[in-house]
Amino acid sequence: MAGTDKRGSDGFPKKGRIIKAISGFYYVYTEDELLRQCRARGLFKLKGLSLLVGDYVTYSPVGEREGVIEEVAKRSSVLVRPPVANVDQVLLVFSVQEPAVTLFQLDKMAAMVERQGLSLALVFTKTDLPGAQASLADLMRVYEPLYPMFATSVKTGAGLDGLVAYMAQKTTALAGLSGVGKSSLLGHLVPDATVVTGEVSKRSQRGRHTTRHVELFFGCGGMIVDTPGFSQYSFADAEPEDAQAWFRELAVYAADCEFRGCLHESEQGCAVRAARAAGSLAQSRYANYLQLLAEIKQLKAKRYT
């Protein structure tokens, strides 16, 4: 292999970014705008190091379209499930209708992103459907003060220009349950991407998962990655006292609780419960916090049984 190694004109390995990984091959989009199929040096395996989609790497070219990855740059972030490196922001995608938004699922997925320290925005699809605008207004009252929100329709084009501008020059991860229009949205944002759209089950109003692997696509002046399996992210290693930090408005009120370590369930002097009673904190957000807290407590108990 060394005899066929063609390095850059300066004699040094070149740089690129992994946009897809399949069966031990890493597809690197290079600085000279080629896509190379690369293997990793055995040194990575010996050191227990993994390569992820999204990694910036240094590679040695081999032939016209192959190469060997030599080094991986320090990551700015890692999305845990699925593992993707150097993501700038996450878009959580939900349909306003067919199926309607499940608020606990929304808040739980938002908590997943908050826990990983990534920027978050909410995208609501299918706003052209009957009854969607009334549902959207209810959602906006709760979430517009918390996160950037985009109300979109692939059919009418509503909201898409603002979403494209938000994604420019960023690496954006799209996450959402099947059937909410995520694949259709990705197909609109990246017309050249090969995206299989799942048909929503009429009986369960849930779609089939159709994404096969993690891949970065060029689109909207940046890069986009679909994230199959994101909603199955586990809180199995979480601590109950950490959950309040993932509900950002709740965390603000928590600073005024009378006792440190308050979990905002039934404690005296709890500023969070006072805010809820006064109507300053949305009932759904508080209820979903308590539900997630209970789930984390159960998971923690299993660790010690």
pLDDT per residue, tens digit, the chain (305 aa), is 333 344 444 446 799 999 999 888 999 999 888 899 999 988 787 777 889 999 999 999 998 899 999 999 999 999 887 889 999 999 999 999 999 999 999 999 999 999 999 999 999 999 999 999 999 999 999 999 999 999 999 999 999 999 999 999 999 999 988 788 888 898 888 877 644 333 333 433 443 434 457 889 998 899 999 887 777 778 999 999 999 999 999 999 999 999 989 999 999 999 999 999 999 999 999 999 999 999 999 999 988 87
Residues 196 and 143 in one domain: yes
* Distance between CA atoms of residues 52 and 37, nearest Å: 14
Last residue of a domain, one of 30, 57, 72: 72
123 and 210 together in one domain: yes
Identify the domain containing residue 275 by its residue range.
240-303
Same domain for 217 and 115:
yes
- Show which of 209, 232, 255 is a domain's final residue: 232
pLDDT in tens, 72-106: 999 999 988 788 999 999 999 999 999 999 999 99
- The domain boundary residue, chosen from 196, 212, 232: 232
For residues 118 and 250, membership in a common domain is answered with no
Question: Is residue 112 domain-shared with residue 219, that is, in the same domain?
Answer: yes
Statement to judge: residues 113 and 176 lie in one domain = yes
Residues 53 and 120 in one domain: no
Residues 223, 168 within the same domain: yes
Burial of 189 (0-12, 13-18, 19+ CB in 10 A): buried
Instruction: Judge if 13 and 49 occupy the same domain.
Output: yes
Report whether 257 contacts 270 (CB < 8 A). yes
Q: Which CATH number does the domain housing residue 48 bear? A: 2.40.50.140
What pLDDT does 212 receive? 54
pLDDT of residue 187: 86
pTM of the model: 0.84
Q: Report the C-alpha gap between 124 and 126 in whole angstroms.
A: 7
Query: Count of domains in the chain?
Result: 3
CATH of the domain at 294: 1.10.40.50
Q: Which two tokens stand for residue 37?
A: 């199929």
- Regarding whether 220 and 155 lie in a shared domain, the answer is yes
Q: What is the secondary structure of the chain as a DSSP string?
A: -GGGB---TTSS-EEEEEEEEETTEEEEEETTS-EEEEEE-HHHHHTT----BT-EEEEEEETTTEEEEEEEPPPS-EETTTTEES--EEEEEEESTTTTP-HHHHHHHHHHHHHTT-EEEEEEE-TTSTTHHHHHHHHHHHHTTTS-EEE--TTT-TTHHHHHHHHTTSEEEEE--TTSSHHHHHHHHSTTS--PPPPBPTTTS-BPP---S-BEEEETTEEEEE-TTGGG---TT--GGGGGGGSHHHHHHHTT-SSTT--SSS-TT-HHHHHHHHTSS-HHHHHHHHHHHHHHHHHHHHHT-
